[in-house]
């Protein structure tokens, strides 16, 4: 008889950290890259946000690494549909431990905390903020939607494990993966839940833009 077993094992994740210009800054931004990217590429994009030098930035790399076919660069993915629930649990444990480590290093357990995601990394930003152990002050979501499990009403009396913070949503008008329909679905969900949010749509596709970076800078400055 054929069977499938799930075996828990130890693995190591990779995080790149850029300290704030003020080395004792109590602000921490944790960023999650998209599919087929890596922590360095995401860090480079985030560091172009105006005013980001006031924040300590940690770019978290997905646990599932692989090589690109062209130049054999090391990139990563957060998860696939296979063993999805187990992957979510693994990723959340990884992120929780990473944030705890970063806060312990900075000796600032009450730091301002923002989770930022691009593309596939958006789902991880939402999960970290809502299902993780650390209370977030904001979520920046570029080119990705709310993961489905966070839209399902909780059957527990406690509801979501963390309160929903303010959310900045970004998408290009020509984005084929996160288009107007998905944006409206997410906006409707937030509206029904009374979640403070703003939407920035810009000329472009599934990508960063200077317009969105400026909006992200303003969002962070107001926290």
Total structural domains in the chain?
Answer: 1
Asked if 123 contacts 147 with a C-beta cutoff of 8 angstroms, the reply is yes
Helix, strand, coil fractions of the chain, as percent rounded to 5: 35, 20, 45
What is the domain range of residue 113?
Answer: 15-167
> According to the model, what pLDDT value does residue 158 have?
44
For residue 69, tell me if it sits in a domain: yes
pLDDT in tens, the chain (223 residues): 999 998 988 899 999 999 988 777 789 999 999 999 999 999 999 999 999 999 999 999 999 999 998 888 999 999 999 999 999 999 999 999 999 999 888 776 667 999 999 999 999 999 999 999 999 999 999 999 999 999 886 544 344 678 999 999 999 999 999 999 999 999 999 999 999 999 999 999 999 999 999 999 999 999 9
For residue 97, tell me if it sits in a domain: yes
CATH number for the domain that contains residue 105 = 3.40.50.1820
User: Whole-angstrom Cα distance, residue 131 to residue 148?
Assistant: 13
> According to the model, what pLDDT value does residue 110 have?
62
> According to the model, what pLDDT value does residue 147 have?
96
- Residue 134 DSSP code: S
For residue 151, tell me if it sits in a domain: yes
Give the C-alpha distances (Å, rounded to integers) separating 4 from 7, 64, 82, 83, 188. 10, 20, 12, 11, 39
User: Whole-angstrom Cα distance, residue 25 to residue 149?
Assistant: 34
For residue 208, tell me if it sits in a domain: no
For residue 124, tell me if it sits in a domain: yes
For residue 129, tell me if it sits in a domain: yes
CA R_g for the chain: 17
Q: Which residues pair with 8 in a beta bridge?
A: none
For residue 114, tell me if it sits in a domain: yes
């Amino acid at each position: 008889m054929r069977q499938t077993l799930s075996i828990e094992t130890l693995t190591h994740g990779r995080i790149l950290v850029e300290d704030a210009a003020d080395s004792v800054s109590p602000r921490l931004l944790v960023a999650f890259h998209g599919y087929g990217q890596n922590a360095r590429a995401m860090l480079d994009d985030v560091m172009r946000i105006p005013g980001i030098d006031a924040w300590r930035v940690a770019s978290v790399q997905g646990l599932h690494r692989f090589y690109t076919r062209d130049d054999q660069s090391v990139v990563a993915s957060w998860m696939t549909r296979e063993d999805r629930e187990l992957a979510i649990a693994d990723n959340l444990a990884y992120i929780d431990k990473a944030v705890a480590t970063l806060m312990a290093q900075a000796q600032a357990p009450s730091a301002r905390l923002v989770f930022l995601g691009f593309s596939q990394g958006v789902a991880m930003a939402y999960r970290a903020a809502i299902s993780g152990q650390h209370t977030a002050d904001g979520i920046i979501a570029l080119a990705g939607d709310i993961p489905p499990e966070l839209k399902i009403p909780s059957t527990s009396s406690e509801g979501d494990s963390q309160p929903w913070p303010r959310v900045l949503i970004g998408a290009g008008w020509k984005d084929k993966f996160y288009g107007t329909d998905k944006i409206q679905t997410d906006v409707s969900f937030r509206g029904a839940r009374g979640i403070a949010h703003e939407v920035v749509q810009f000329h472009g596709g599934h990508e960063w833009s200077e317009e969105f970076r400026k909006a992200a800078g303003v969002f962070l400055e107001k926290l």
